[in-house]
C-alpha cells in the first residue's frame, strides 16, 4: 500500500483563525499555509517590538506579573544604552529572552546585531534567527529588523532566508 506524501498544512493560531472569520479556508496547501504562518509571526514580532511594557517595577511578591501581558513589549530604545559592545551584548540577550518569553512558536532563538554601513546612521539593525515549530514540522526562519530610535519607526522583513533590508 503506497503511503501519501502530502504535507498537512500547519494550523494557524487562534488569533489568526479569528481574523479570518467566515473566510477561513480548510483546503489550503501546506506551502501557502507556511507562508501565512511566517507572515503572522512577522506581524506578531512587529507588535512585540513596537509595544512598550509597563514602566513601574513589579513587586517581588507578584513574580507572576513578570511573565504577564504587563511585561509584553520592548523597552523604549531612547532609554537604552547601546554605545559599547558590552551594552549591545546585554541588549541582545534581553531581546532574545523577550522573544523566547512571548513567541512560543519559536525554538532556538538567537539575535544578531548588525552594523550599518554609515557611521552617522543611528538606526538599530538586528537579525532574529529561530526555528518555527508547528504541529507537524519545523522550519528555520530569519527576520531582519531595523528600528529608528528617534521616530520609533520599525521595518521587519523576512521569514524564510536572510533578506537584507535598507
Q: What is the pLDDT of residues 72-131, one digit of tens each?
A: 888 766 667 766 778 888 888 988 999 999 999 898 999 998 886 777 777 788 899 999
State the total domains in the chain.
1
pLDDT tens digit string along 19-64? 666 555 555 677 777 888 888 899 999 888 888 887 667 788 887 7
Whether residue 165 contacts residue 157, with contact meaning beta carbons closer than 8 Å, is answered with: yes
pLDDT tens digit string along 119-153? 777 778 889 999 998 877 888 999 998 887 777 67
Q: What is the spatial distance between Cα 83 and Cα 103, in angstroms, rounded to a whole number? A: 28
Q: What is the spatial distance between Cα 124 and Cα 114, in angstroms, rounded to a whole number? A: 8
What range does the domain containing 73 cover? Answer: 14-158
Distinct helix (H) and strand (E) counts, the chain: 3, 4
Assigned domain for 9 exists? no
126: β partners? 113, 145
pLDDT computed for residue 106 by the predictor: 92
Give the CATH number of the domain where residue 64 resides. 3.10.450.40
Assigned domain for 7 exists? no
Assigned domain for 165 exists? no
Amino acid at each position: 500500500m503506497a503511503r501519501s506524501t502530502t504535507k498537512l498544512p500547519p494550523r494557524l493560531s487562534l488569533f489568526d483563525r479569528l481574523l479570518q472569520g467566515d473566510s477561513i479556508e480548510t483546503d489550503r496547501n501546506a506551502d501557502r499555509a507556511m507562508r501565512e504562518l511566517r507572515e503572522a509571526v512577522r506581524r506578531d514580532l512587529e507588535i512585540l517590538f513596537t509595544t512598550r511594557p509597563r514602566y513601574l517595577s513589579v513587586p517581588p511578591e507578584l513574580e507572576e506579573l513578570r511573565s504577564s501581558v504587563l511585561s509584553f513589549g520592548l523597552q523604549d530604545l531612547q532609554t537604552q544604552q547601546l554605545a559599547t559592545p558590552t551594552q549591545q551584548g546585554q541588549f541582545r540577550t534581553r531581546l532574545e529572552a523577550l522573544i523566547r518569553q512571548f513567541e512560543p512558536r519559536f525554538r532556538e532563538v538567537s539575535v544578531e546585531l548588525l552594523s550599518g554601513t554609515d557611521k552617522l546612521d543611528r538606526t538599530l539593525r538586528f537579525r532574529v534567527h529561530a526555528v518555527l515549530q508547528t504541529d507537524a514540522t519545523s522550519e528555520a526562519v530569519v527576520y531582519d529588523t531595523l528600528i529608528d530610535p528617534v521616530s520609533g519607526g520599525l521595518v521587519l522583513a523576512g521569514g524564510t532566508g536572510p533578506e537584507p533590508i535598507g
